[in-house]
């Protein structure tokens, strides 16, 4: 866990919550406030009030509102990346693993609508160098999709004329949009949405031979 600069990780007495618990609560509350008010409209006072603490006490954990947004955005990105990386490692050919990744990404998005919205809406509020720090020099999240498409191409499972980066961006663009229209408890479950979006994506990029084997 990131340690705010110049702060001790030790608790004073028995009154302060354990650092890990309080930090997780701060990230959760800040995410909700940024979602409700937007980064520009939210203040540290709003977040402190929601936490039931003095605004000055926030500086035990953070240095600024921008730094807090960076931590929120980083947490969302890290959690989502862990999900799709785990899905990418499931046994199977690259096309099957790509399908697993798409399903995992969609289901994770549906179950984390508020963090996803904050990430997609407020990432641009960070300076370019901080955005790059979150995403990684090789755009790690996008890279999971791109690498699997490239592997599938080498095995003749994805059309040779498809640009892997463009394919990855297309899949991510369509699946990310789920956060705008998915409603918990609605007609479509995360599992159903994930399965159908994955099939649509695979049908759009796979070779005829691969499609014949997958959907006889």
Which DSSP symbol is given to 159? Answer: -
Please give the backbone phi and psi of residue 41, each rounded to the nearest 5 degrees, phi first: -85, -15
Give the Cα separation of 96 and 20 in Å (integer): 37
Q: What is the pLDDT of residues 167-181, one digit of tens each?
A: 999 999 999 999 999
The whole-model pTM stands at: 0.86
Question: What CATH number was assigned to the domain covering residues 19-62?
Answer: 1.10.10.60
Q: Which residues share a beta bridge with 206?
A: 158
Q: What is the pLDDT of residues 156-212, one digit of tens each?
A: 999 999 999 999 999 999 999 999 999 999 999 999 999 999 999 999 999 999 999
Give the Cα separation of 149 and 47 in Å (integer): 42
- In the numeric block, which tokens belong to residue 184? 């918990």
Q: What pLDDT score does 18 carry?
A: 53
Q: Would you say the CATH fold of 76-214 matches that of 19-62?
A: no
Question: What CATH number was assigned to the domain covering residues 76-214?
Answer: 1.10.357.10
Give the Cα separation of 33 and 146 in Å (integer): 33
Give the Cα separation of 207 and 112 in Å (integer): 33
For the chain, domain boundaries: 19-62, 76-214
| Residues of the chain by 3-state class (helix, strand, coil), percent to 5 | 70, 0, 25
């Amino acid at each position: 866990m990131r340690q705010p600069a110049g702060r001790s990780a030790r608790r004073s007495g028995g009154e302060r919550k354990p650092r890990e618990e309080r930090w997780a609560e701060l990230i959760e509350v800040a995410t909700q406030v940024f979602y409700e008010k937007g980064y520009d409209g939210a203040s540290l006072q709003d977040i402190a009030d929601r936490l039931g603490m003095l605004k000055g006490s926030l500086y035990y954990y953070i240095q600024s509102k921008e730094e807090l947004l960076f931590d929120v955005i980083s947490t969302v990105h890290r959690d989502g990346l862990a999900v799709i990386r785990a899905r990418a490692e499931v046994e199977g050919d690259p096309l099957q693993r790509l399908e697993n990744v798409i399903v995992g990404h969609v289901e994770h998005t549906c179950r984390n609508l508020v963090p996803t919205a904050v990430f997609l809406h407020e990432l641009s509020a960070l300076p370019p160098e901080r955005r790059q720090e979150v995403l990684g020099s090789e755009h790690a999240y996008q890279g999971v999709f791109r690498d699997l498409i490239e592997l599938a191409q080498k095995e003749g499972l994805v059309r040779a004329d498809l640009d892997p980066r463009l394919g990855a961006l297309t899949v991510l663009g369509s699946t990310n949009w789920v956060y705008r229209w998915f409603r918990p408890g609605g007609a479509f479950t995360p599992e159903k949405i994930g399965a159908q979006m994955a099939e649509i994506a695979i049908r759009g990029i796979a070779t005829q031979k691969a499609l014949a084997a997958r959907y006889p």
